[in-house]
Every structure is written in structure tokens, then in C-alpha cells.
Amino acid sequence: MPHASLTIDPAFVVGAIDRRLFGSFVEHLGRAVYDGIYEPDHATADEDGFRKDVIELVRELGVSTVRYPGGNFVSGYRWEDGVGPREQRPRRLDLAWHSLETNEIGLDEFARWSAKAGTELMLAVNLGTRGVQEALDLLEYANVRSGSTLSDLRVANGTPEPHGVVLWCLGNEMDGPWQLGHRSADDYGKLAAQTARAMRQLDPGLKLIACGSSNRQMPTFGAWERTVLEHAYDEIDYLSCHAYYHETPGDLPGFLASPVDMDRFIESVVATIDHVRALRPGRRRVDISFDEWNVWYVDRYHEEDKVTDPQVWPIAPRILEDSYTVADAVVVGGLLMSLLRHADRVTAASMAQLVNVIAPIMTEPGGPSWRQTTFFPFATTSRLARGVTLSVDVATSTYETAAYGDVPVVDAVATHDASAGETAVFLVNRSVDSPATVSVDVRGLGAATVAEAVTLWDDDVHARNTLDHPDRVGLRPTPSAAIDGGTLRVELPPVSWTAVSLR
């Protein structure tokens, strides 16, 4: 049986946990917006047409920020299409996802939804088919109180108060050949810097995010980051990272090790950021916004979902509606642990996405909503991970993977909230056939007790929640979690994610 040991000491701090680490993402894609958050004929719909059952689940999930409106969608989006009287809004072809966009929901409506869901709005500007002026126009409409043409237009459209958006993404995945307006790192870096400078002239308090690589496997990875930063370092606050993972047939052990790749991705980007920083005066620091991450079975989209007929442009098609397993949820829990482990430099993140599209929340038109397996580790981590991340060295055995080499069987991260007197320990057992025991030295916490211990696992690692069986998988109490003589002892089932709260 594998064993792991670690020590928790509040004196060894990695960094403060920014609540923006628990963000999500809503794109005009598939049924994320229409038949997702917005269904005016649904029994739970409010006065704005938003499903109240979905809002309640978003609040339960503990989402802090929501990135909008894309994603690939934003590189062809004209924001002004989505404001003003609905009956006058144009219907546009969305080239990114081969869909018809009705523009029933735009900035003003989505900002209202975001407020109802208790989240902070993160806006992306179109730097694919548009540029500096259009970004300034959107900023003026969104954030200026009144007195100018565009701010007065927002007021006339029924939103008297400015949206006050602080977080802005300067385009999306501009390194990707699939992106409308794709360009070189040199060209994008110049445009991002120009756009950032102009936006700060209007509102100096903005937090701006430049596009990093779409994934670590891009042939330009590393060089893209360096070049963009050489142009834009002094103008931005974050550089983005994106990563998706999926299980391949016959390689569950490798899939469970996916957070090791996220660790290495983050550390590589931090090294590049700090290299560029070292070559310039001042001590200004750029952090990472990991604003797309999740499990995504992208091959299924290309093989089954993708629409290519130039005469067929569906509205809100059922695409990217992955049904998540226990193994998927364990990996999601591990990816959250990776983000926490780098809380000193990853200070914003967005799980992609939120509803129906590779999402922890699913809905059926006219029917119920339910939690996917991935809902549970996100909601629990968002609730328990407060204060600071602590440095813990996990002593455990390793196993070999084809993609990542030798990786630890047991992964662990700990957080500590001194003001509340609470500590959380998050654990993953990657063994596919054996439970693991964990010993945690908690003497540095004083007289700690176990306040809560829950585990996500199942005898069937591919069990999932569905419309017909929405509660098949959930969190279970962890009866083995107990403190004895200053040591927390926990037994972890195979392929499991566990959270323990101490007070």
C-alpha cells in the first residue's frame, strides 16, 4: 500500500490565495448562454429570463469571477451588436463555432446575470478582427458613468450605473492558427501594448491580461511569451495560460498525472516572465491568469459535434457537452491543487466553462439542472481554501508515466487562514488499484481537530452524473480522517480526491 507523509507549518508560506483563483468562463458557445444561463420560458426563469436554479448552483459552486464573452468567439464579436433593443439586434454568423448568434444576451444583460450570481465580471476585447479604437469604445460604454456618447447610450439602454469592470483580457489565444486575426508574437505584442496604454489612459485602475500560449504544446511556446512580454511587460498585469487534459484509452495513470504538466507549465511561464523582468528597470511584477483550464475531450468535438456545412448555422447547438467521470473529477481536483501550489504567481484563473459546455453544471431545456462530478472538488476547494498556501514537501513513492516520467502517487497541498483559525489539506491518490495512507504532522497548528473530511471516489472510476441519474456520484464522508498525537492520519481510496478541514 502506498504511503505519504508531510508536515504542515504555518510559518512556511507560499503566497496569499487570491479569490480570483476560483473564476469560471461563459462563452457564446453551444448551450452555455442560450438554454444554459438564459431560458426565458423555463419555470424558474426570473424577470430577465435567467434560470434561477442555475444561479443557485453557480453560487453553491463558489465562483469568484466569470470571463466573458470568449474565448474564440470574441475574435469575431462586435460588442455593439449585443446592446440596445433586442428586436433591433442583428443575427450574426459565429465563425469560431459555426453557429448563429442571435445577440439576445449582450454586455448589459450578462452583467446583470453576473451580479445575481455574485461574481465579478472579466471582459475580453476583440483583438482578432478589431483593435484599439473598438476596445476603447467598449471600455467607455462599460465603465464611464455618463456624459459621453457611449456612456449615455448605456444609460439610455437601461443601465444607469457603469459596470465598473476591472479585469480585461486583451484578445484570446492569438498564437493559435484557428483564431480569427491570428498573428505573430511580435505583431500581437505591439497591438496588446498599444491597446493597454490606450485603455489605461481612459481608466488607470484596470487589470489587463495579455495572451500567453494556447497550450504548452504549441510550437511557439516560450518564445511567444518572451516576445509578447518584451513589448507589453510594462503595460499589463497578467499573462494568460490555457491548458486542457483528457483521458486516453488505456492510460488512466497518465491522465491522473495531468497536474504535473500544469505545474511545469506554470513554472516555465514564471521563469520567462522573470527573465524579461530582470532585463528592465523597476520591480513591477507580472502574474499569471490561468484563464482556461479543465478536462476537455476535444477529439469528440472534432469527430462528433463539429458542424462544417456552410449552409447550416444552428442556434445554441449541443456541442462540447462532455459528461464527466469520477476520474475526470479527481484530475480537476488535482489541477486546483496545482493552482493553489503556485498561489504566489497564479493570482487569477478561470475554469472553462461554467454551464453545459465542458461544464460542472448541466441543464435540460424546460427541465432540471444538475451537478457534474467536477462540481464537487471545485465547490469544496473554493469554500475551504482561504488565507495562504503553505509549503509542504510530500514524501511518497512514484510511478512511471509515458508523458511525464516518474510522478508521485500521492499529491497534497495545504492552506491556512490564520484569522479564522482554519487549515485545509487537499489530497489525491493516483493509484488505480490500491488505497494509500497519509500521515500529516500537524503539531505546528496547536490543538487542531478535524472539522470536516470528504472524499470523491467510486468503485467505478468512470461513473458519472446524468439527466436520468443526477446524483449517482457525490462527496462521501472520510471516516478514517483523525488526529492522534499531533498526526493527522487519512486513508485514501484508489483514484480519489479528499479534502480535510482542521480547526
Task: Say which of 173, 225, 235, 422 is annotated catalytic.
Answer: 173
Cell numbers for 129:
478582427
Cell numbers for 165:
469592470
Percent of the chain that is helix, strand, coil (3-state, to 5) = 30, 25, 45
Residues 499, 501, 502: CA angle, nearest 5 degrees? 145
Amino acid identity of residue 414, one-letter, is A
Q: What is the DSSP letter of 158?
A: T
Distances (CA, A) of 460 to 91, 326, 335, 495: 45, 8, 21, 10
Cell numbers for 122:
472579466
Task: Say which of 134, 225, 235, 292 is annotated catalytic.
Answer: 292
- What does the alpha-carbon distance between residue 393 and residue 6 come to, in Å, rounded to a whole number? 6
| Secondary structure class of 483 (helix, strand, coil) | strand
- What does the alpha-carbon distance between residue 108 and residue 106 come to, in Å, rounded to a whole number? 6
- What does the alpha-carbon distance between residue 251 and residue 249 come to, in Å, rounded to a whole number? 6
Is 225 part of the annotated catalytic residue set?
A: no
Residues 330 and 256 sit within 8 Å (Cβ to Cβ)? yes
Is 173 part of the annotated catalytic residue set?
A: yes
- Which helix (H) or strand (E) segment holds residue 60: the answer is helix 52-61
- What does the alpha-carbon distance between residue 352 and residue 72 come to, in Å, rounded to a whole number? 12
Closest CA to 315 of 117, 67, 173, 105: 105
Instruction: Find the radius of gyration of the CA atoms of the chain.
Output: 23
- What does the alpha-carbon distance between residue 292 and residue 295 come to, in Å, rounded to a whole number? 10
Residues 368 and 487 sit within 8 Å (Cβ to Cβ)? no
Phi and psi torsions of 227, nearest 5°: -65, -45
CB within 8 A of 40, min separation 6: which ones? Answer: 49
- What does the alpha-carbon distance between residue 470 and residue 459 come to, in Å, rounded to a whole number? 17
Amino acid identity of residue 330, one-letter, is V
Residue with cell 437601461: 158
Q: What one-character-per-residue DSSP string does 346-412 give? A: EEEEEEE-SBSSS-SEEE-TTS-EEE-TTHHHHHHHHHH--SEEEP---EE-EEEETTTEEEESEEE
Q: Which residues are catalytic?
A: 173, 292
